[in-house]
Each structure stands twice: as structure tokens, then as C-alpha cells.
Structure 1
Amino acid sequence: MDDSLYGSRDKRGQWTPNKRPSREPLFVWPAQPRKFLVWMFGFPGYLWPWNTVLIAISVVAWIYLTPSLEAMREFDIGWVAGILLRNAALAVLIYGGLHMLLYIQRRQDTNFKYNSKWPDTDNSIFLFGSQTAENVFWTMCSGVPVWTAYEVITWWMYANGYILQLDIQQHPVYFIGLLLIAPAWLKLQFYLVHRLIHMGPLYHIIHRVHHNNVNPGPWSGLSMHTFEHIIYFSGVLFYFVVPSHPMNVMFCLMIQALIPALGHLGFDKLVTEGDKHLDADGYYHYLHHRYFEVNYGDTLIPFDEWFGTSHDGSAEADEAMYRRMKAKNYKRGGSRA
């Protein structure tokens, strides 16, 4: 599949898609009901394919790979270890599987790869000198345990009545509504905590670990300092105060745990067969890793457009970014030059 039909690569090896990131038809005025419905139910769109896949994974995990709430009323090493192993297996399957296909087997070479370079294997900025090794370390030794800790505590609270559990049969519309708003809630939560950890000392102490990945790959998605993992997975706390079903929580956790693999894929599209492909839609966040001070959020809720930090990869966006950075530096007492 020829990526030059969908974008262009400059002399520095940076591939830019012809289709630039733009806000979804949610926060637009005047309203665009037809576009909204196509986006909500079309392919690709809000539900299809990725959120539907995550809902399916959540259903399987809750029904077949999670103990009953009765069994989780008391903390026990057995069921806690079982959830930890399940989450570790999911991480290896999703993150490791994508890494295997794209970065080890290199099934599509650099087609649709934003940066033509491959991850560093001899760079002292990374643990063990290897970008992938550091990414795997932080994901498996910090990300998966923190994810599991939030999940274990949540199930224990459900089991002991500290969280009000929703009856799906009595409130099916409410249950579905909670499922539908979960991705949007997590986009909001992500933007808020992301802006927080880009501030001064928090960036240098915590978020810098993640931003070592200027040229991210799948394993970069959850490669974070442990304190960032604690903040990042806090989105599940929403369900501590809102009546919900454990399936709502499972879906929330699966989004936060697994979707970063796509957001940091490093490729714009996954080529499946011939000219068939799946959009990864990671360019907006890739630009954040490339430029640091743009695209703190997502196109679903256009905070970056509202606050002037959006970048779509165009030359005009470059100029706006440099003007903003110069003005920011000047206000802090820096030089205009």
C-alpha cells in the first residue's frame, strides 16, 4: 500500500497525512446532526471500531476473567494475583502484538510511519540504553500494577457496598448512556491531568519519563513514571460517586489501559490486506510528542482549539506555535530572539 497516496514525507523523514486532524462534530455550532450521526455510528467513528472492540474485551474480561463480587469481599492474594496476571497478559497481547507486527516483523516497513527512524537501541537517555526496553519496563512494572490496584480496590468497594451498583435490567438506558460517555469523560480527565503534569517541576519530576519518547511506538503508550500512572488511571474514581455497573468500570479501565497503544503507535494506518487498512488516528498526539507544547488533549473535546494550543501539522500551525512560544518566553523575561 502506497502511503504517498495519503500523505507526504519530507527530507527529514517526517510523514504528514493529507487529512489533517480536526474537531469531531460534537462541539460545533451550528449543530451538524447528519455528520454527528455518521461519526457516532459510522465506520470509522466514535463507536466503530475501537470502542466496540474495547467493549467486547470488557465483557469477556468481566464475565470470564474476573471473580464474582462475593469472592472479592475480602482481599486475598489469589484473586488479586489472578487479575494482575490477566491485565499483564492483555498488555503483552495488545502492546506486544502491535510492536511485534510493526517494529519487529515490520510488516508494512515505514509505510504510514510518522517518523522514518526506528526506536533507539543505544541511547543513554533510556533505561538499559533502549527505548523499547524502558517502555516495556515502565508499562509492565508500573503501569500494569497501578491499573490492577485501581481495579482491585474498585471491585472490593462494589462487593462491600461502598459503591452504589446499578441494576442493568432496571436502568438499561442509563447503563448504555454511561458506556457512551465514558470515552468523553476520560478525554476530559486526560486533558486536565495532562496540563497539570506539564507544569514546571511536575514535568521534570514525573512527565519527562513519558516524553523521552519523541518517536513513540506502541509500548510508549503506558511508559510513564509511577506517579503519572496513579494520576492517569484516576479516571475510574468517577464511578466511586456515580451509580454504575461494574461493566462501566471495566470499560473505563480498558480504555485507559489499552487505547494508549494506538495513540502512540507511530503509524497513521494499520495495513491489513492489500489496500485495506484501519485508521489509528494517532497523528494529533504524535505532534504533541514531537513539539511538547501543543495538542495536550484530543479532537473529541477541542480544548486545544479553545486555548490556542492546537496543531494540525500544517506550516501555518508551525508559525502559530513559534509565535506563541516566543511570546511566552518574552513574558517570562526571556529574549525575543
Structure 2
Amino acid sequence: MDDLIFGKRNKRGDWAPHQPIETSPLFVFPPRLMAILKWLPHYFFPWNTIFAASAVAYWVWIIPPMETMQTISIGWVGWLYAVNAICTFCFYGAFELYLYVLKCQENRFKYNGKFPAEQKSKAFWFESQNIDNMMRTFLSGVTIWTAIEVLMLWVYANGYAPWLTFKDHPWTLAIVALMVPIIHEFHFFCIHRLIHTPFLYEWVHSVHHNSVNPSPWSSLSMHPVEHLLYFGTVFYHLILPSNPILMLYQLHYAAFGAIPGHVGFDKVEISGDGLVDSHAYAHYLHHKYFEVNYGDALIPLDKWFGTWHDGSPEGEARMQQRYRERKEKLAIRKARMEVRGAAE
């Protein structure tokens, strides 16, 4: 597959798509019905369908009976941690193996031409991004994911959260299911802006941003505080008219859904000429520039708040203009403080 049909590569070997990133048509006014209908298949396939199917599979084959979960015990908690860890290893590991170990598509469609294993850095444990990212994923990420999962299942088992059945409330639950990605996007944008404040960035979020050239294992490589905030997206189901399966879908959207944004490739080649879009470019630009694209493109929150970068020269110019304006404001503030200090 010739990736230069879809994009261009600079002298450093970094690839970028020809087309600027587009936000979804859901929040365009007046509504564009045909654009929404054309976009809908991309909303469902493949990623959202995979995450929803994984939630159903968990409910059918993994989650213990409700009677068991009315009391927290090491048995079923350990079982859930083991399953989560195995699924993470298999799902994340499959992308890592295919794209980064075997390099089955070499650097075709890869945003950053270099591979993390080629670069050592003291920012990481053992100076290895892969080892650091994997350890943080399993030591903190899967642990906190499981703890929140256990808490939510215990809440449902004891009747402390609204639990609607699909038989009695199919349309309500269908709407909530459709809202799961939107809830995640809204929550992620809010906490992401929060942890980019100076104090939280230095002590919390910088751990994740050490991976300037993200790979699959970077997806859940976070500080424990960020893991708590990130997986907190599931707590909306404590007040929504929901269902444990939809709660699991929300949780899996966070746990497994982090992969597409950090896979590092714009498209994943499958058999023949088949390609699967990762939709990762918006978040890759965030890792590259730090202060753009705090959300993805489902809700145009970055457009509304002036932090959107669509990968185009115009987007680059807007970002640089924002940097200049901020630098000027800081210079003016510093000058005022110096004048005030001299006057005193």
C-alpha cells in the first residue's frame, strides 16, 4: 500500500494526511442530514462496535452473578483483575506486535517516522518507553480500572444505582448507548483541560506526555491520579437511567478505546488493500504540540474554546498566533509587576 496516496512524508520521515481533520457533523447548525447519514457508519464501525461487543461478552461470560457481587471478596475481584489484565495484554499487545515489533507495515501511515524502541530516554523507567508504559498500564491502569469496575458492579448488585432492563426500556437504553462516546468525549475534554493546569501537569499529566511519540502501550501510561480521573467517566451511570452492560461499555470505551488515539498510525493495513482508520491524528497532534486538541473530533469542544488544530497550515498558523498572544500577555504582566515592585 502506497501511503503517499493519502498523505505526505517530510525529510524526517514523519507522515501526515493530505486532508485536514474534520469534526463530526453532529453539532453543526443548521443540521446537515446527509452528512450525518454518511458519517454514521464511521461512528459505529469498527471501534464503537468492538467496545460494545466486549461489554456484552463480559456480561455474558465474565461478570459473576449479582448475588456474589453484593459482597466484595478477593475471589471475584481477583478474577476481574486477571481478565482485565489478560484482555489488555492481548488487545494492546496485538497492536504492539503487529505494528511495532514485527513492523508488518513498516512506517507506512506512521505519524512519527521513528519507533520508540529506537530511542532511550531518562524520562522513562529503565530508560525505555515500552517498559515504562507497560508497567504503568498494569501496575496502575488495570488496577484502578478494576477497582472502579468492582465498585460500580457492587453498586448495581445492591440496588444503589438506576438499573433499567432492555426488555422494559429498550429505547431509553438505546439512547444512553448512543450517548456513551459523547459522554466519554465530554468527560475526557474536561479532565484533560484540568490536568493541563500548571500544577497538575507537572505532577500528574507529564507522565503521560513523556510519550511524545506514542505507541499502543502509551494509551494507559498515566499517573494514578489521571487514571482515577480518566476512568471516572463511568460514574455518570450512577445517575443516568442505565444498565450494567452500558456501564461496562462506558468503561471499555475508556480502557480499550485509548488504543486508537495512541496507535501512532493513521491507518492500519489489513488483508489485501484493506485499511482501518485509527482517527488518531487529532490526539497525535496533542502529544506533539501539548496545547491543542484536548478532545477528539466527536464534539467540537476545541473549536469552541479556540484550541483546535486540524493538521492544516491554517491550523498551524492559528496555534502559533495563540502562542504569540499568550507570550505578549505574559510579557505585559511581567512588566506591570516590575513597575509595581519598583514603585514600592
Interval containing the TM-score (normalised by the shorter chain): over 0.9
Letter aligned with residue 8 of structure 1: K
Question: What TM-score results when the alignment is normalised by the length of structure 2?
Answer: 0.95
In 2: Cα distance, 1:125 partner to 1:64 partner? 40
Question: 1:104 corresponds to which residue?
Answer: 101
Q: Cα offset for 1:12?
A: 2.2
Give runs of ≥4 in structure 1 deviating > 3 Å: none
Question: 2:36 corresponds to which residue?
Answer: 36
Instruction: Map 1:134-213 onto structure 2 (within 5 A).
Output: 134-213=132-211
Match of 2:25, SS state, is coil
Letter aligned with residue 101 of structure 1: Y
In 2: Cα distance, 1:169 partner to 1:314 partner? 48
- Given candidates 69, 79, 89, the residue that maps to 2:86 is 89
Is 1:6 paired with 2:3?
no
8 Å CA contact 2:172–2:241 kept in 1: the answer is: no
Q: How big is each residue's C-alpha offset from its partner over 1:259-318, in whole Å with a ceiling of 9 and x where there is no partner?
A: 111110000001002211111110011000000011111111101111111111122211
Q: 1:89 to 1:334 in 2, by over 3 A?
A: farther
Is 1:75 paired with 2:59?
no
Letter aligned with residue 277 of structure 1: L
In 2: Cα distance, 1:334 partner to 1:323 partner? 17
- Given candidates 318, 322, 330, the residue that maps to 1:320 is 318
In 1: Cα distance, 2:210 partner to 2:100 partner? 18
In 2: Cα distance, 1:334 partner to 1:67 partner? 61
Letter aligned with residue 17 of structure 2: P
Write 1 or 2 for the structure with the bigger share of helix.
Answer: 2
Aligned length: 333
8 Å CA contact 2:173–2:241 kept in 1: the answer is: no
Match of 1:278, SS state, is strand
Q: Cα offset for 1:334?
A: 6.9
Instruction: Map 1:293-308 onto structure 2 (within 5 A).
Output: 293-308=291-306
8 Å CA contact 1:210–1:223 kept in 2: the answer is: yes
Question: 2:261 corresponds to which residue?
Answer: 263
Letter aligned with residue 147 of structure 1: W
Letter aligned with residue 269 of structure 1: K
> Can you give the 5+ residue segments of structure 1 that lack an aligned partner in the other structure?
none
Letter aligned with residue 56 of structure 1: A
Letter aligned with residue 14 of structure 1: D
8 Å CA contact 1:329–1:335 kept in 2: the answer is: no
Q: Cα offset for 1:122?
A: 2.0
In 2: Cα distance, 1:88 partner to 1:110 partner? 29
Question: 2:62 corresponds to which residue?
Answer: 65
Match of 1:189, SS state, is helix
Instruction: Map 1:247-262 onto structure 2 (within 5 A).
Output: 247-262=245-260
Match of 2:43, SS state, is coil
Is 1:274 paired with 2:272?
yes
Question: 2:49 corresponds to which residue?
Answer: 52
8 Å CA contact 2:205–2:222 kept in 1: the answer is: yes
In 2: Cα distance, 1:306 partner to 1:244 partner? 29
Question: 1:21 corresponds to which residue?
Answer: 21
Match of 1:332, SS state, is helix
Is 1:233 paired with 2:231?
yes
CA-atom RMSD, angstroms?
1.3
Q: Cα offset for 1:8?
A: 0.3
Report the more deviating stretch, 9-18 or 101-110.
Answer: 9-18
In 2: Cα distance, 1:32 partner to 1:69 partner? 44
Larger Rg over CA atoms: 2
Q: How big is each residue's C-alpha offset from its partner over 1:199-240, in whole Å with a ceiling of 9 and x where there is no partner?
A: 011000000000001100011011000000001111111011
Match of 1:273, SS state, is coil
Report the more deviating stretch, 118-127 or 142-151.
Answer: 118-127
Match of 1:8, SS state, is strand
Question: 1:244 corresponds to which residue?
Answer: 242
In 1: Cα distance, 2:268 partner to 2:233 partner? 28
In 1: Cα distance, 2:95 partner to 2:239 partner? 35
